[in-house]
Structure 1
């Protein structure tokens, strides 16, 4: 199936990519050198500052190493939580970062334990507290292994400094007031709230030529803006034959989208203004989807149908 996440501009970190709030770091100052032989932070030592790192010395550790540089006072990060972090990464043998979020001036969002990122991140972040700065040394087996990735050579040990900005527990399903689905010319979406994929029945009629964005379940959450990072569960189908081309439920994990990076015009337009916690039906005509360009599993000039649970905003 075509993963819509592949259409985002994403950091290198991605493999393809009510807990705490906006807690700040603790009052303690980060140490200039990590313990246990991890590379020292040579500048930008405090939580929230862009750090610089020394090169690793000697042979890198063979196992994941995590050092808490400064401990925050926020909620503990659990598997399945959506977190926002700032980070800088470089290889053990270099002082030149291969990626960082500080220069982008926007935290990076992921769901812990969902396999969105390299395994070392999923393992290293779980159990840490919001507001903490941690340094992680990740062996190749928990990083990119034998595959080179851009400026990262094959079999590289990776070093990251990570500031944990926010963590949010993700509900299993949208919930809210059921909105009557009275238009027989539109797909009908089930209203189950058991965490399983909603069923979508596409009518055997002509597809609409304009974007449709309707509530199926309407919550009382805040409205999505075009600057939010949203955590979604969704099913995507073709209007023509009702064939499924994408589903987060089939993969067993949610997907986080940065609204500013969405390239599917109708998907962005259909979500902005909708309330967090709701289930939404989107019908996207070709001129707001992929037009006359075919995608994997999506023929050219296809009308797309989505049932989307808006689970959280990061």
Structure 2
């Protein structure tokens, strides 16, 4: 379930090189724990290249220009200049923030990706070093509200890449638990008890598992609607119906996770698409909409799966085609 919301050419995908070795080893889809996120991973410094970039306008009219003659490839490392200093707490890896951004090809000023498709020219970004290293490099260790320019020489981006410039401003820290209005639970489905931090404990009833996928809203949000193929940011816990044991959970990794709705089992996709950000949903997924007769790690073959999912953010599927 790995994605990169800023999928502007292979060069952006290669920005994982920026933080290579900094985030530690482990599960490649895991997000950093809060303790691992409390320090700067790159903390890029300003330089002549990043200082030269011009930013003008505001909102959807914001433009980023690399002046003629600016040689970003002359730099030996990423450079970051602060255009505007925010007044909030420092942003760190693992945070979920609303971001206005532009990603520009530094050789011709063409816009490779932007937040213009978002509400008020902003999109939710999970600062995951393994999937969103570009935004981690741009925004980490700067106060919330800061706007920065990040200049990336091509040598950091992989063979055949062009130098990039990223403008990014963090505007708001977003909740990492569902904030919607509680909905009365449906009879016969697993029950859910929430800890103070929002982590769910799922209790499966002593009954036969349903034969069709069932989805129940536990909290009704009022944010953007998750569309077909959208990229979503969620917290989730999954247990098997047979024994109620947890087989996977973003909560144990200490931060939300992100993926495309088309990249998960059909039952999970059914639970997400059409729901609103801020919602918490319960999904009971029989084998036909899960992993079927194939065992997956600690999940036995022919397992019915139960998920509780907090929907924290969604980005239109167009993000993958920029």
- Is the shorter-chain TM-score for this pair beyond 0.5, marking a shared fold? yes
1:65 to 71, 79, 86: 79
Q: Structure 1 residue 253: deviation in Å?
A: 0.5
Task: Provide the alpha-carbon RMSD of the alignment.
Answer: 4.6
CA, structure 1 residues 191+44, in 2 after alignment: closer, same or farther (shift >3 Å)? closer
| Aligned counterpart, 2:305 | 304
Q: Do structure 1's residue 187 and structure 2's residue 203 form an aligned pair? A: no
CA, structure 1 residues 175+71, in 2 after alignment: closer, same or farther (shift >3 Å)? closer
CA displacement 1:113-156 (0-9 Å, x = unmatched): x544466742531337779561244899xx8xxxxxxx837xxx
Equivalent position SS for 1:205? coil
Give the alignment of 1:1-314 within 5 angstroms: 5-6=1-2, 11=7, 12=13, 13=15, 16=29, 36-38=47-49, 47=62, 56-57=72-73, 60-61=76-77, 65-68=79-82, 78-79=91-92, 80-84=95-99, 85-87=101-103, 101=113, 110-112=125-127, 114-117=128-131, 121-126=135-140, 127=142, 132=147, 134-137=149-152, 152=158, 160-164=164-168, 167-184=171-188, 186-192=189-195, 194-216=196-218, 218-222=219-223, 224-226=225-227, 228-259=230-261, 261-314=262-315
Equivalent position SS for 2:200? coil
CA, structure 1 residues 159+201, in 2 after alignment: closer, same or farther (shift >3 Å)? farther
Structure 2: segments with no counterpart, 5+ residues: 8-12, 17-27, 32-45, 316-322
CA displacement 1:166-192 (0-9 Å, x = unmatched): 7442224324444333523x2111144
- TM-score, length-scaled by structure 2: 0.62
**How many residues of Structure 1 are paired with residues of Structure 2 in the alignment?**
267
Equivalent position SS for 1:124? helix
CA displacement 1:14-71 (0-9 Å, x = unmatched): 6648xxxxxxxxxxxxxxxxx734389999999557979976555614xx53025x65
Distance (Å, rounded) in 1 between the aligned partners of 2:48 and 2:214: 56
Distance (Å, rounded) in 1 between the aligned partners of 2:179 and 2:123: 27
Q: Structure 1 residue 87: deviation in Å?
A: 3.0
Moved more, 238-247 or 284-293: 284-293
Whether contact under 8 Å (1:174, 1:309) holds in the other structure is: yes
Whether contact under 8 Å (1:276, 1:311) holds in the other structure is: yes
Whether contact under 8 Å (1:174, 1:310) holds in the other structure is: yes
Structure 1: segments with no counterpart, 5+ residues: 18-34, 144-150
Distance (Å, rounded) in 2 between the aligned partners of 1:253 and 1:89: 31
CA, structure 1 residues 275+132, in 2 after alignment: closer, same or farther (shift >3 Å)? same
Q: Structure 1 residue 237: deviation in Å?
A: 1.4
CA, structure 1 residues 48+245, in 2 after alignment: closer, same or farther (shift >3 Å)? farther
Moved more, 241-250 or 162-171: 162-171
Whether contact under 8 Å (1:135, 1:159) holds in the other structure is: no
- TM-score, length-scaled by structure 1: 0.63
Whether contact under 8 Å (1:135, 1:161) holds in the other structure is: yes
